[in-house]
Structure 1
Amino acid sequence: MSAEALAVVTAQDGDVVRLELGDVARGPWDAASAHGGAPAALLTRAVEAHAAGTDLRVSSLAFTFLGPVPLGAVEIRTTVRKSGRRLQVVHGELRAGGRTAMEVQATLLRRGRVPLPAGVGMPWPELAPPEGRAAAPAWFVVDGGRAFHPDAVEIRPLGDAPLGEPTPDGAAAWLRLRVPVVGEETPTAAQRAAAAADFGNGLSCPVPMADYVFVNCDLHVALHRDPAGEWIGLRARTELDRAGTGLTTTELHDAAGRFGTATQTLFVEARA
């Protein structure tokens, strides 16, 4: 993994952290803004700080995008809305340029040891493995500069269609972070899942990206167990309506099988 990171910490005061978001986090829609997966991973990191030294784990993450997240200086602050040994609710807010650009509400649950009947809790059917698959080339990079993909994230599609081509029946791929989320820290399982989950709508677009904008307004990630390993598998399907809205539903996998689900509500519009 490269020593370069999505962001570096410039200051921290309790539950408030200031960071500099680098150009390796750039998204596909605007050269000055981040891909949603980058700030999602940063907010996840901030939420996880409240689980340090406890038996709590991130169980769900509900992100709302209130506007573009610009590259450069950002501030994240978190607040515990409900504390407890079994369940904790944490709210996080990412601010930039004097406005709130993104929010998250996270549910953290205790790690227990619950005896289950035989056959219950077994992994779902797995995806074909990423080994031996070719990495996707650069895809929808604005101004030809560096971007979240392929510089920060490697994508290995499982189908034959090139990234960005319409896939009405859905698509699947494996993704892994090429860089740390912050500094030289090793990304956690939840950070890897959050960063990858935001690719669902782009991976399974049923219409050409060159002809349509279909930006997700939110991202909900539910993890019934922690993923293992660097690779996060996505099996996604996107449904669009002529009202200009859509929904992406994504299965999240690791080598053992499915570990969670993500959904994205989409704003859809034809390009002028």
Structure 2
Amino acid sequence: MSALEAIATQAGSSGDADDTSTWVLGPVARGPWDAGSAHGGAPAALLARAAEALAAPGQRVSSLSYTFLGPVPVGEVELTARVIKSGSRFAVVHATLAAGGRTAMELRAVLLRRGSVPLPPGIGSPWPELPPPEGLEAIPSWFLPADATAFHPTAMEIRVIDGSLAEPAPKGRSAWLRLQVPVVAGETPSGAQRAVAAADFGNGLSTPVGFDGYLFVNCDLHVALHRDPAGEWIGLRSKTELDRAGTGLTTTELHDAAGRFGTASQTLFVDTR
């Protein structure tokens, strides 16, 4: 794939700091609401890549906690990432995306050593739950025309397991998602990158009220991975709970073909349109 088909292209370093670089989020990063703003999953994947790049040999990304401080623009952004707690067993990376003189997104990632721990029989075995994506139809569009260049449908393929995205899902909804473009041209997305790119769809998949009458914006995204996901497909089983105070919470089980590998949550700002 060409650089134009990737989520992000590096534009160079910024300033004298070794931990800061400049990137351009391409058209496929666009979200559904504003042509100039990215879908949260796109910059989340780029920040996950930055955290992985700082992992010591033998470490894996165990959790990623994002805070959305404002819209992330499609276009040039400044990425800063550094290790704030080093260690071979446990390390912490802090990363930010900034644009136009403001910080738009922040990440704190926990890295754990990849060990070999003997466990009793049956402990740690995967437990498959979701039916496979094969045989399910891809959703051609969601809020945008099918031929639009955006995170969905261009970069992310969605196959819904239960119900239609046109209807509310008071009991939650499950779907398989597949990242169809690289985060950075010439690189195969890691399992963690695929997981966070998909996890940000949880609140949209499982909203219990209609998009036409309500606004529910996730202010953060927390992803915890108890094992590395495998394969291209990421399964989401999401449920959203809302309160009359104008807040909500989406909780998502994350699956691959072998079963559940992690959990995601999103805190929501809720209001009427």
Distance in 2 between residues matched to 1:77 and 1:141, nearest whole Å: 32
Could you report, residue by residue, the CA deviation over 1:179-235 in whole angstroms, capped at 9, with x for unpaired residues?
Answer: 001122110110000100000000101111122111100000000000000000000
1:1-272 equivalent positions in 2, closer than 5 A: 4-12=5-13, 14-51=18-55, 54-141=57-144, 145-159=148-162, 161-271=163-273
Per-residue deviation, 1:2: 7.4
Judging changes above 3 Å, is the alpha-carbon distance between structure 1 residues 75 and 226 closer, same or farther for their aligned structure 2 residues?
same
Contact 1:64/1:103 (8 A) holds in 2: yes
1:93 aligns to what SS in structure 2?
strand
Which residues of structure 2 form unaligned runs of 5+? none
Distance in 2 between residues matched to 1:141 and 1:90, nearest whole Å: 35
Contact 2:128/2:257 (8 A) holds in 1: no
Per-residue deviation, 1:14: 2.6
| Partner amino acid, structure 1, of 2:23 | L
Could you report, residue by residue, the CA deviation over 1:54-98 in whole angstroms, capped at 9, with x for unpaired residues?
Answer: 000000000000000011000110121100000000000100111
Could you report, residue by residue, the CA deviation over 1:237-262 in whole angstroms, capped at 9, with x for unpaired residues?
Answer: 00001111100000000000000000
Could you report, residue by residue, the CA deviation over 1:100-134 in whole angstroms, capped at 9, with x for unpaired residues?
Answer: 00000000000000000111111133210000110
- Aligned residues between the structures: 269
| Partner amino acid, structure 1, of 2:44 | A
Structure 1 outlier segments of 4+, above 6 Å: none
| Partner amino acid, structure 1, of 2:171 | D
> Aligned residues: percent identity?
69
Judging changes above 3 Å, is the alpha-carbon distance between structure 1 residues 143 and 77 closer, same or farther for their aligned structure 2 residues?
same
Contact 1:165/1:209 (8 A) holds in 2: no
Contact 2:54/2:82 (8 A) holds in 1: no
Per-residue deviation, 1:175: 0.3
Q: Which moved more, 1:119-128 or 1:148-157?
A: 119-128
| Partner amino acid, structure 2, of 1:253 | H
Contact 1:175/1:232 (8 A) holds in 2: yes
